[in-house]
Homo-oligomer: A and B are copies of this chain.
């Protein structure tokens, strides 16, 4: 462990002796393609170990690339993570809004959203882990991006609720947050018991729970 203990240290005149035996060097690659590969490697490592547990060394190794290459594409580990987070949340937002606009019937809307949510969670890149089990929540940019997504999603739900129940905005928003949370937590639980319950069966259970909860609200006050 002591630095100067290396027996075969090269002579001072020759500090860098490459001596690469064979094709260890990774093939040259267009910049964009390399970037995409690095993102994929990072995704894999972050999902497996979390942000803090992931080492840049391991990400580079996973991509069969040396660390400096990684830093030529992303200025820091944090930036790398933020790029992935942004990408996943953008596509999740698109998915949700797409499901919301897929019909004008509120009942079907809730069902469609729930299915889309379950599909996102079931996606095999495990993006949901990086997003919803982030261990970088204390970072202002991360929590702010997550809050933006949550607000967008909950607002969309709250509009449906408000239309259906005439509840005040603030209260509809609270219910929207609650339903979004229900979707997230139940979908993640479902994923862990996969094989035992079909995606559509599970998401329909939650959809019905949500819809029945909502749909009888207006009659009282």
| Chain B residues near A202 (CB-CB < 8 A) | 174
In Å, the complex CA distance between A138 and B102 comes to 37
A175 touches which of B174, B179, B180, B209 (Cβ 8 Å): B209
| Chain B residues near A181 (CB-CB < 8 A) | 181-182, 184-186
| Chain B residues near A214 (CB-CB < 8 A) | 209
- Residue A49 is within 8 A (CB to CB) of chain B in the complex: yes
Please name the residue on chain B nearest to A172 by beta carbon: B205
In Å, the complex CA distance between A154 and B202 comes to 16
A53 touches B138 (CB 8 A): yes
B196 touches A170 (CB 8 A): yes
Please name the residue on chain B nearest to A186 by beta carbon: B178
A177 touches B205 (CB 8 A): no
In Å, the complex CA distance between A177 and B137 comes to 23
A205 touches B135 (CB 8 A): no
A: contact size bracket: 35 or more
Nearest-Cβ distance from residue A118 to partner chain B, whole angstroms: 11
A185 touches which of B185, B213, B217 (Cβ 8 Å): B185
- Residue A206 is within 8 A (CB to CB) of chain B in the complex: yes
Nearest-Cβ distance from residue A170 to partner chain B, whole angstroms: 6
Q: Could you show 27 A-B contacts with beta carbons less than 8 Å apart?
A: A50-B137, A52-B52, A52-B138, A133-B137, A135-B138, A170-B193, A171-B205, A173-B189, A174-B186, A174-B193, A174-B197, A174-B202, A175-B186, A177-B185, A177-B186, A177-B189, A178-B182, A178-B183, A178-B189, A179-B182, A180-B185, A181-B182, A181-B186, A182-B185, A212-B212, A212-B213, A212-B216
Task: Give 4 nearest A-B pairs by CB, closest first.
Answer: A181-B185, A213-B213, A178-B186, A50-B138
